[in-house]
Amino acid sequence: MPNLKDLKNRIESVKSTRKITKAMQMVAAAKLRRAQESAEASRPYAERFNAVMAGLAASVGGSDSAPKLLRGTGSDDVHLLVVMTAERGLCGGFNSNIAKLARVKAEELRLKGKTVKVLTVGKKGRDALKRDFGDLFVGHIDLSEVKRVGYTNAQDIAKDILSRFDGGEFDVATIFYSKFVNVVTQIPTAQQVIPASFEDTEGDDSGAVFDYEPSEEAILADLLPKGVATAIFSALLENGASEQGARMSAMDNATRNAGEMIDKLTIQFNRSRQAVITNELIEIISGAEAL
């Protein structure tokens, strides 16, 4: 049984931890507001961009004149998994959930006899997958020195991926990130970016017919690389909001748990102190009676 000094030290230690978790919760709450606004502001543009691209892709179809980023290499033997996580921890299951989704996908592809390559964005994803898939790593992008993620960072990642695709290093590229819903809900998401894949937009623009100048193929050849960068930028913004939401929720839980632990330790401390006082009184009374 711990003595009074040990209990007092533990109480002070937990109180210090509670101050830290409370401060981290407040910082995450402040960052979350900005990150959430950025993520929500990017969604209309990304959705409309994808709708336009879907219309162009549907008009071009799978013809040989279609850009390579749309029609692909004609094979799906080599897959590049771009795992996008945070540079820091203490955000609940945010990083582990993304890594888990990527791990499941990698195992599924390997069971089908496909070749898997992994490109990590964020230190936590690299650390989570290094043990099982370290031999599959082809690169890592460090954003730890970036104070605020911008479109330039997405362009750099997109250039890396596109250069690997042009070099014939893979056939299919999929990005993994967490889509922000609210503070307590972030959805791990996998999105194929190469070859470009668009959701069915049938019924958009009320059946309007467009004439394109230059040709649809030329427009797609110019816009598809921008589409990859746009998808990556949207994923980075969603990740940013999801990370802060998960951290805010985790630190709130940690603060409440610390408070409960302090209450339990305080009760144990008071009981132990009362036991010590009672024993001292018994010793005094027994000594007085002996005299």
129 Cβ neighbours under 8 A, 6+ residues apart = 83, 99, 102, 103, 118, 120, 137
Catalytic residue selected from 24, 39, 70, 91: 91
Cis-peptide into 67, omega within 30 deg: no
Q: Is 91 a catalytic residue?
A: yes
Taking the C-alpha atoms of residue 224 and residue 6, their distance in angstroms, rounded to an integer, is 64
Give the C-alpha distances (Å, rounded to integers) separating 105 from 43, 83, 123, 235: 26, 11, 20, 18
Q: Beta strand 172-182 with 185-194: parallel, antiparallel or unpaired?
A: antiparallel
Whole-angstrom CA distances from 93 to 23, 113, 256 are 20, 30, 18
- Shortest CA distance to 244 belongs to which of 252, 234, 256, 232? 252
Contact 199, 50 (CB under 8 A): yes
Contact in structure between 69 and 230 (CB atoms under 8 Å): no
**Helix residue spans in 112-215 (DSSP H):** 123-133, 151-166
Active-site annotation, residues: 91
